[in-house]
Structure 1
Amino acid sequence: MSAAKPEQTRSSVSYFHSIAFRISSIAGTCFLIICILLTTLSYRQQKARVADELVALEGMFHSPLMLEIDAIETSKVELKKNWEAYKSVPAVMQLQAEMDRAIASDLVENAYLFYPDWIEEDGKPALLNLLSNANLYEDEKPAAPYVPQAELRKALLESETAGVGSTGTYEDDMGKWISVVSSIKDKHGELVAYAGIDFNHAFISKMLEKDLYRSSLYGLLAALAGLAVIALTVRLYLRPLHRINARVEAAADGDLSGSLALGTRSEIGLLGQHFDHMIGNLRALIAHIAESSQRVTSASETLQAGAHTSAQSARSITGAMEQLSGRAARQHHGTQESSRAMEEMAAGIGRVAESAGSASDASGIARQRADEGNAQMQSSMAQIAGVVTTVKQAVGAMERLRAMSEEIGSVTLMISSVTQQTNLLALNASIEAVRAGEHGRGFAVVSGEIRKLAEQSKLSAERISDLIERVQLETQSAVSAIDHGLGEVTAMERAAVQTDGAFRDLSGSVQQVADQMLDVYSVSEQMSASAQQVSASITELAELSRQTTELAETISAAAGDQQETMSQVSRTADELGGISGELRQAVARFKV
């Protein structure tokens, strides 16, 4: 079958959103990263090669110096005597010529020798200059101290063990340098001097920048060429996808005719074969759907007519049963209300009886508690009387203690008076001993000791007097507190007597309430039994009404269910008719 295909706009994908662009971008990015890594590696190798060349140049400077150890030793002595010896002493002049020859290259800026012994200059490690190229003498004279930077100091210490040491880029007062140093040792392994060369940092930087520029340019050209090759290869490989995309778009518009013939055994070719197989299955499915929709339309029309007839019969039955169900429901509702009223009345009477019993029990317990409280009050009154007696005894004891404290105070005053008199006698004895001269010296010593004892006795008497005064104050406070407590205990005793009388009155009242609650409990029990009998009769009548109502509702519900079922069948038949029409319209869109 075939049908006119609706006009639709063909969709297209821009190159920047295509798979080819994405694959090319990913592959190109990876290739570019590889080129950058290779360029970086090449630059590092170039730096390492330059560093090796610098060490080799220093070795060319170092080798002749190893043959001039005697001249170095002579220079170390002569230059300390006169720093201008490099102009007149032959051995020193020979070494000076080596220094000047070393800087003949544009790459080498300075050449120098240091004394081997470290000193301190302004609190920092330093070395004495031995010799250098003559240009440096304007700033650093021979035998003058030089404080190396941290990078250079580290390289010098490294050369003592490794023979040679090199620095990275560092800067001092005279400029920016890259230095290589070595240690010069005699045949016994003793350090004779340090030798070093400063290389022109600007010259080396320009040389490395030139190599980096050349490597970067080659890497960029290689990256561009690689990107072009990757993009072309991806587009050629993905060209069959455009045919598959056009075929899929036609199938989406309803055109299932034709097939793909890609002629390739790759994954894309396999995809085309699977797509052709899928289109064939779709054509067969659509033909089968068209035939089935015709049969569904005929069956739905027949089903709709039968459902309409059954629905009318069900509506008649439902109306009759609804009337019966309504009457039975009203009767059942009335009996339920009567039953609930009787149940509530019986429950109320039961709660009254229960409350009366509980009140009777509570009255008995209250009477028992009142008796117990009365007994406890009797015991408390006896204890309070004992406390009153004890407090009165304590008051008497405190009064006696205060009297004894006053007597002790009098004795202390007497001791103080005796001490003062003794002190005066000792003073008079000392005066007499002084008058007696040499014969009264022993008596003077004794009188001095007596005066010391008198002073100590006076101090002790004063301390005892202070303590007695404090004891008297504390005793007076205790007497006042005990008097106050005695008044409180007396008041407590009077309150206990009043409470005992109240407990006796309460016990009699509780007994009367308990007798009355027993009478109420008996009457409530009789009323509760009668109400339960009436409630049982009404409950039985309500059960009969409920069963009648349930039977009527069951019949009415069955009729309603049948009516609803017929309505659903009718609606289903209508839906089937609509679906079959939609299927015919949908199938008409496809060209097979």
Structure 2
Amino acid sequence: MKVSTRLWLGFGVLCLFIGGLGSFALITMSSVNSNTEQIIHNWMPAVSKAYQIKLEAGQIHELQRQLIDDPTDQSLEQIIREKKDAVKALVEAYVSQSISEEGTAIASRFFIDYEGGEATDEQIKEQAKSGNIRGAKLLYEGVAARLFNDINKSLEQLIAISETEATAAGATNKAEFESGFQIIIIALCFVLLLAIGLSLWTIRSILLPIRTINGVLQSLAGAKGDLSQRLRIASGDEIETMANNVNEVLATVENMVNHIRDATTEVAASSERIETNCSQLSDATVEIADAITGLSAQAQEQAETTHASQRLVREYLNKLNHLAEKAQETFELANDAKQKTEHGSQQMASVLDVMMAITAQNAAANESLSSFRTKLVHIGNVNEMIKSISEQTNILSLNAGIESTRAGIHGKGFAVIANEVRKLSNDTKGSAQSIIQLMSSIQEDVEALTQQFQSNTRNIDVGCEQIQQLTATFQTIQAVNGTVMDNGMLTKNEATSMLNSSATIVDRFDQLSTLSEDQSAVSQQVSASVEEQLSSTQMIESFTKELSEQSGKLKGLVEQFHVANVNA
């Protein structure tokens, strides 16, 4: 029987047992998964719905108590209706989805009791809305409480049945899983024993002959051994074919070793001659390389000097370009400053003319105030005269009164006239006194106004002098700006001329730099070629030495093999 047939047979038996074990495991796990899915989709939701029904029923009972306390609360009544609808929906869902006959019967009975209790709830609500709170509470604490306790007991039974049946389903599922798991463990142990038996059979029928072949090959792998030995295996399978192939390899290697011995001697002699020639060529190449290296170093130094000079010239060119830009900017700034200075001089001249006109107007106002002061003095003198006349008139009226008193009855008319004259004199004196006070006030105001005009005149004179000085300063600045413009124009022209000259110098340096770089590149290329030739020569010499050494080693290795024709 062939090795492949043996292996396929053992592998097929093992796969058959493993496939059967896997099928059994899949069937077992499928059953367990089905039971688990039934628990998840039927029993667990049933328990959850039972708890929800109990919770909703308790909340409805509590909300009814609150509705008795506040029967006008429409939102609370709406919540109770929604809760009742939710309880009915939960009960219907439990009945339609549950697979427990006892649980379905209890849920149906609860539904009937709950619908019967709704009539009591309506009576409680009507009593509360009609104002009979006490009657509503009696119904709530009596009939409604008993119904709630009965419903609560039914819900407790429903929850207990749901939990008991869910627990029983889980225990059944667990027992089925443990039974399948034990069968799988037993089958795995049997498969393991089968695999061990197949392994021992494979080792005995396949690996032992292979170890014999490996012993011969390991002897050859260590570069020693008897090449004249041959394998003798009669198993009638691929291993016997492998042994025959190894025998042919041994014969081929034995023949090749004989040829290698002869060639090794010739290679050693040729290597010695090549090594001598390479040594001479290497010495000549070293001398050429030293000369070219010196020339390349000089060319490199010249190129670096040229590059440094070129960088300096370019920096000088950049600075000149920057200087030309600054000269142009200075010329433009000076021209702008000149124009602004001329405009400022014109404005200062206009301001000076206005100040001179204001000075003339202040002088005319001062003259008018002086004339007004003179007239005020004249008016004061006239008023003093009027005051004096009024005092004399008053004295005359007093004298006339005295004389009229002496005249008696005949002097009564004269006394009346004297009295009127005295009144007129007093009024005239009072008016004159008021005029004097008014004139004094006007004279003080005129005096203050005169001083203010004089101060303004002095300030205007000082401003005129400063404006004249500022105008002279603007004229000086204008002259300086003209000089700066001329110098800026000269600087710009000189910088432009220097830029043109520097550009020519840069072109010359570029040409010189190109030539230096070409010379340096050629020198480096020649030096690299010589170094490459030297490296190749040294490499050939090294290879020759290595070839000579390898020939010696190869000869020593070949001598380790035992060849039949050598012994002969």
Greater strand share, structure number: 1
Greater Cα radius of gyration, structure 1 or 2: 2
Q: How high is the TM-score relative to the length of structure 1?
A: 0.40
Q: How high is the TM-score relative to the length of structure 2?
A: 0.42
Which structure is richer in relative contact order (CA contacts within 8 A, separation 6 or more)?
Answer: 2
